[in-house]
Chain A
Amino acid sequence: MINEFSHVFAFIILSLIFVAGGIVTNRILRPSRPNEFKLSAYECGEDPVGNSWLKFNNRFYVVALIFVLFDVEMVFLFPWALVYKEMGLIAFVEMFAFLGILIVGFAYAWAKGDLDWVRPKPYVAKLETLVSRDKPRLIPQKPSTQSEPAIGGQPA
């Protein structure tokens, strides 16, 4: 029953055991002292402000899709250029048929106005304000007033 895939399967099992063993051992051995600050989001020492679930403009999605369209086209064009000399007319026709399909899609996006960042009839998305003063925020404890030195004076 030992075939080629059995080795891969054994590798998968062993790596799962290795990773799980590391995590479990770590969980058993490590000291765990969570507090309010440790559980808060790391913002380079600043207060985490607002929600981390931001809303992005929908139009980035369209731009990314169009980029992928031409990105993949380039991926196919490079090997095509390598074998073009040997295949001749067939390669020429096939690639231009492929490009034609892409260009139809491109023309569609163009005609719909998706290439213009400012569309003729802009749809204004309602975006909530990112900074909400009303919601409770995490405020780090300032050093106690006793240990805080007076301005320009000797420490207490």
Chain B
Amino acid sequence: MGLLDTLHDQVDYSIPNDKTGEGSVVVTSVDALFNWARLSSLWQMGFGLACCAIEMMATSASRFDMMRFGVIPRPSPRQSDVIIISGTVTLKMASRIKMLYEQMPDPKYVISMGACATCGGPYWEHGYHVLKGVDRVIPVDVYVPGCPPRPEALLEGLMRLQEKVRQETTKTV
């Protein structure tokens, strides 16, 4: 008798009657349903700019596991809901970011990750090539401070974005 068999005997596999959900009816509003669907599957545009992107990758990886919030990196803006501006936005990149943002389908959200994307960061004064904040190009929903932010901070920003989506109505989207 193996170890797994021992464990198998210890597990109660019976289904509790009060947890099957049979015969129940869920009542909700259209807004709540849409918002729940949207905030539970915020597909992310696979897009990294600078060192913040390393932290974003760490957030996607198994230790922090952004996918448990329904955030899946997508290779195309056509399939994305949220774009995480992770890093320094150079002036050359700004028009590209604007283009990518415009190519995402509505409703779309923006997370500005780190000091560079939020306000220029260490390049705020002498960075002749850096856009002083990505919100000069596209509207930002959530700013995540840090240089770079830890993965926990990005997760916090993501949950703040989910809270924002939860309060939307179909009229405003």
What is the interface of chain A, defined by CB distance below 8 A to chain B?
A: 29-33, 35, 37-38, 40, 42, 44-46, 140-143, 147-149, 151-152, 155
Contacts and interface: CB of A to CB of B under 8 A. Distances in A.
Contacts, number: 58
Nearest to B107: A31
A140 B99 contact: yes
Contacts of B136: 143, 147-149, 155
A45 B97 contact: yes
A40 B99 CA distance: 10
Interface stretch (B8-16, B18-26, B123-131, B153-161): B123-131
Given A37-B99, A45-B99, A45-B100, A143 B128 contact: no
B77 A42 contact: yes
A146 to B, nearest CB: 9
Interface of B: 34, 76-78, 94-100, 102-107, 125-128, 131-133, 136-137, 173
B131 A46 contact: no
A140 B105 contact: no
Nearest to A143: B137
A45 B46 CA distance: 13
Given A42-B78, A149-B132, A152-B128, A30 B97 contact: no
A141 B98 contact: yes
A11 B162 CA distance: 38
B96 A45 contact: yes
Given A31-B106, A38-B105, A143-B136, A152 B99 contact: no
A155 to B, nearest CB: 5
A143 B94 contact: yes
A140 B98 CA distance: 8
B31 to A, nearest CB: 12
Given A141-B98, A143-B94, A143-B131, 18 more contacts: A29-B34, A31-B106, A31-B107, A32-B106, A40-B103, A42-B76, A42-B77, A42-B78, A45-B97, A46-B99, A140-B95, A140-B98, A143-B95, A147-B137, A149-B131, A149-B136, A152-B125, A152-B126
Contacts of A29: 34
18 contacts: A31-B173, A32-B106, A35-B102, A37-B99, A38-B104, A40-B103, A44-B96, A45-B96, A140-B96, A140-B99, A140-B102, A143-B131, A143-B136, A143-B137, A147-B136, A148-B136, A149-B132, A155-B133
